[in-house]
Structure 1
Amino acid sequence: MVDIDLLIEDLNRKSSLFFEDHFNIREISRTPRLSVFRADGTSYAINRFEIPLEKVKVFRWFNDYWMFFEIKKIIAPNTTNFHLNLSICVFQGDILDEDKYQLFRAEWDDYDTDYQNHSQPHWHITSSQALEKTFTSYASDFEKKDFIDLLEEEKSKVFDVKQIHFAMNGNWQNDETNIHRIVNNDSILKWWFGLLKHLRIEIDT
């Protein structure tokens, strides 16, 4: 069972050593069935993964890499039971650039069932959006419609990989499923800090 208040406290207390910015998660909105928690940021980025696009506050990880971290607490109808959706998105760009490159996203969505189409936890690869941003920038410098149409045509030929939920921790080798439930605070903390250490090694080489 997850204790959300204790989880937020532990994340805030233990995460500061991993970031150049001060790390602080706080509740930003609440309805009867949904509470949203986000880490405070010192810069902005466009979250192109969500539709409509949303400007979000991101915090500096290291160098020109930034993170957006969100926890959603979703309460089941007519009960006090809840499940969590965790989302970590990594951006790259200058502090003043509000349209930073969105590189990838790690998610762990617990829908309280072992039967889902999408692996939990999983990756979304969003770095192709850097090319989309470049295409848009170039297109704005040209008046010829045929050039813009050519870019759109080429873009339509490439499969949009950001829609795939790439398995992060499938347990098929032990004849188990690709679904891992969020069972307690410790499982979230181990996942979070494991991701930070792993990604830092992979990116900062």
Structure 2
Amino acid sequence: MTDYLGIVSTINKECKILFVEPFRLVPYKGHHNIFLFRIEGSSTALNRYDSEPVKVLKWFDKYWLFIEVKFIVEKSKKKQKLISIIHTNISISVYEGEDSDEKKTQLFRAEWDDFNNPNELHSQPHWHITSSQAVEKTFEEYSNHFDNGDFVSLLEDQRAKLFDVKKIHFAMNGNWQANQSHIHTVQSSEQVSKWLKGLLNHIRVELEK
């Protein structure tokens, strides 16, 4: 599909009803044939995926969202027209924290990568569980608070024993029971917006329990 602006426009139109604060994906810095859009947030958090400070939007209670949509577009060599999207990446991170807390805890991340690759190893879409970073934050705070080398060494040894679960791509929509693939491609802007709305509604129900 070629209508990457249509995907962004449909998300902005259909998903704004889920928020009290204004919701909108806006263009962010890209590079040549990379087109990047991010949520307009009102507070700061740290995206642990690449250790980058990002703006997050207040969702409800103490929960915040960071959403990024990225397109890598192939261009015609003759007319330099956009002819096809060769990679679509949608990333949604849920954070927990107070308004003034710039070290909000990143709980989990949902991603949908469409590489146009039928042999893609990772399930698409998928989850990443990142809540273990709250434990890592505690280790860091204790390490900074104490000067005892043996105690700090003990903390580091214990942290090294923790399984790094955030590296795993947990399948979200694998249809193995129907003998189908674990890969779902991006077909239309409506498909993406329905997935995103359903995902956010489902997450909120779970967080409000």
Establish whether residue 20 from structure 1 lines up as the match of residue 23 from structure 2: no
Establish whether residue 65 from structure 1 lines up as the match of residue 69 from structure 2: no
Listed one character per residue, the Cα deviations across residues 19-69 of structure 1 (whole Å, up to 9, x for unaligned) are: 23210111111322211100100000011122xx10000001101100000
Query: Aligned letter for 2:71?
Result: K
Once the two structures are overlaid, the 10-residue window that deviates more, 60-69 or 13-22, is: 13-22
Offset at residue 2 of structure 1 (A):
5.1
Aligned to 1:44: 44
Q: Secondary structure at the match of 1:85?
A: strand
- In 1, are the aligned partners of 2:7 and 2:188 still within 8 Å (CA)? no
Report the aligned-residue RMSD. 1.4
- Counterparts of 1:88-103 in structure 2 under 5 Å? 88-103=92-107
> Identity of aligned pairs, percent?
45
Listed one character per residue, the Cα deviations across residues 127-176 of structure 1 (whole Å, up to 9, x for unaligned) are: 00011111111211101111111111111112100000000000110111
- Counterparts of 1:108-187 in structure 2 under 5 Å? 108-187=112-191
Q: TM-score, normalised by structure 1?
A: 0.94
Q: Secondary structure at the match of 2:195?
A: helix
Q: Secondary structure at the match of 1:118?
A: coil
- In 2, are the aligned partners of 1:25 and 1:40 still within 8 Å (CA)? yes
Aligned to 2:11: 11
Query: Aligned letter for 1:158?
Result: L
Aligned residues: 203
Listed one character per residue, the Cα deviations across residues 105-140 of structure 1 (whole Å, up to 9, x for unaligned) are: 000000001111110000000000011111111211
Once the two structures are overlaid, the 10-residue window that deviates more, 8-17 or 117-126, is: 8-17
Unaligned runs of 5+ in 2: 78-82
Aligned to 1:31: 31
CA distance in 2, matches of 1:139, 1:163: 24
Establish whether residue 81 from structure 1 lines up as the match of residue 84 from structure 2: yes
CA distance in 1, matches of 2:52, 2:133: 15
Unaligned runs of 5+ in 1: none
CA distance in 1, matches of 2:113, 2:34: 14
Moved over 4 A (4+): none
- In 1, are the aligned partners of 2:39 and 2:68 still within 8 Å (CA)? yes
Once the two structures are overlaid, the 10-residue window that deviates more, 17-26 or 71-80, is: 71-80
Aligned to 1:200: 204
Offset at residue 77 of structure 1 (A):
7.1
CA distance in 2, matches of 1:72, 1:114: 20
